[in-house]
A and B are shown apart, each in its own frame.
Chain A
Amino acid sequence: MIEIKNISKSFNNKQVLLDVNGQFVKGKTNLIIGASGTGKSVLLKCIVGLVKPDEGSISFDGRDFTQADSELKQSIRREIGMLFQGSALFDSKTVEENVMFPLDMLTTMRREEKLDRANECLKRVGLENANKLFPSEISGGMQKRVGIARAIVMNSRYLFCDEPNSGLDPQTSIKIDNLIKDITEEYNTTTVVVTHDMNSVLEIGEHIMFIYKGRKIWEGSNKDILDTEVTELQDFIFANKLIRDMKAKKDR
């Protein structure tokens, strides 16, 4: 479980996050949702340690990440897998080399073992025949899959996904969402997904945190989100006509 307490962050006197609290549950797909520019990605970057919060603490299964010495920080980071918004694959490496990269850097496994593990992860994400291709030679959806394979190759305890559906068509988005959900259940990871895609919210949002203007103003699940009475959340959800219709049908 990941616990965040009183996280605040500002950039150049502009408050981006204010007093955000919450827990991300193990074995579940936890979503951070909100409109663009509300501080979702900054919160995610604070959690993984890419941005240092001005105030507050973050703990990974009881280990305080914000106060940790460099050794503990390093060991926690090695339990983290992250899928970036643009996939962040290394351009100069092939798909296989990208997935093997964490193993090359952080383990003393033999090359054959690393290859086996990389291929196992690529197979898991449905990419058996792309090993020798470079990131520029594959589609956006395939890049996301490679990103997921790289994130799970070290048997990560924590999986973070920053807008996994950005730039993807609806069909591929659903496939990526389901893949994230399946991997979370299969590997029992604590998964945190930042998104503003309502399809993802309704499909995989087992635990949802809604951020509005840097504050957490709602927490719940995809089962109760449509019944919310929080105006800001209603505005966010029902901006989509399909969801408005779904809600109207449900109410009837």
Chain B
Amino acid sequence: MKSFGKYLILLSTLFINRERFNVYVKRIVDESILIGIDSVFIVVIVSTFIGAVTAVQTAYNLVSPLIPLYIIGTIVRDMTVLELAPTITCVVLAGKVGSNIAGGLGTMRITEQVDALEVMGINSASYLILPKIIAAILTFPLLVIIAGFLSMYGGYLAGVLTGVITEKEYIYGIRYQFQGYNITFAIIKSLVFAFLISSISSYQGFFTKGGALEVGQSSTEAVTNSCIAVLCADYLLAQLLL
């Protein structure tokens, strides 16, 4: 509870004594590149393979001749949009981005760079953390959208190229009983996960004490706590919004 209180206080300090707007603009652009653009490669790989594996495993389990093959496309779409693209992508990002944020801030803390900002009269939490949270909120939904498309494309490649399903059937399945709200739900999830991952990792890094060993521990805790928070939020959002 003490840590949760400290986390809430940290979040409230992000908006007190903020710096000039243009300072944040540059920082947000820099952070968006680090958090977003630099994560595209891993998202592309993970999501394509997730889609491919989902298609192959669904086909493997569809043994009844009564179930049409286009259902493979429908299952890939729904699993991807509702769960795999937002949740698995964000769990992967919790590992990559979360450890990067916590490690970076932890190193700045133990090498007195955070103190240097404070001595200059700069709100170090706001200057360092707020751009990371905003950048994550801006880039995670885009990464999740990319992941969604690529998962379905991965399913298409695995299904069509191996002859499990025809191109026509797969595309029909993808479009069959499509609900636009699922996309909205996925984007809402990505926004919530972006906030949780970036803020929890920042909290872990910002309050690092000690030396290099503790920076490593902060990074590990950032990833662990972010993943737990993402999974809890995933369940709550599903209960509330579906």
Contacts and interface: CB of A to CB of B under 8 A. Distances in A.
B120 A102 contact: yes
Contacts of B113: 88-91
Interface residues of A, number: 25
B100 to A, nearest CB: 13
B112 A78 contact: no
A84 B23 CA distance: 24
B121 interface: yes
Interface string B95-138: 00000000000010001110110111110000100000000000
Nearest to B115: A50
Contact of B19 (A78, A85, A102, A105): A105
Contacts, number: 52
B184 interface: no
B116 A82 contact: yes
B27 to A, nearest CB: 11
Contacts of B119: 48-50, 77, 80, 82, 160
B111 A50 contact: no
A105 B112 contact: no
A88 B108 CA distance: 8
Contact of A88 (B17, B19, B116, B122): B116
Contact of A74 (B17, B23, B115, B116): B17
Given A105-B23, A106-B121, 9 more contacts: A45-B115, A50-B118, A70-B17, A75-B121, A77-B118, A84-B112, A88-B116, A91-B113, A160-B119
Interface of B: 17, 19, 23, 107, 111-113, 115-116, 118-122, 127
26 contacts: A45-B115, A48-B119, A49-B118, A50-B118, A50-B119, A73-B121, A74-B121, A78-B121, A80-B119, A80-B120, A80-B121, A82-B116, A82-B119, A88-B112, A89-B113, A90-B116, A91-B111, A101-B120, A102-B120, A104-B23, A105-B19, A105-B120, A105-B122, A106-B120, A106-B121, A160-B119
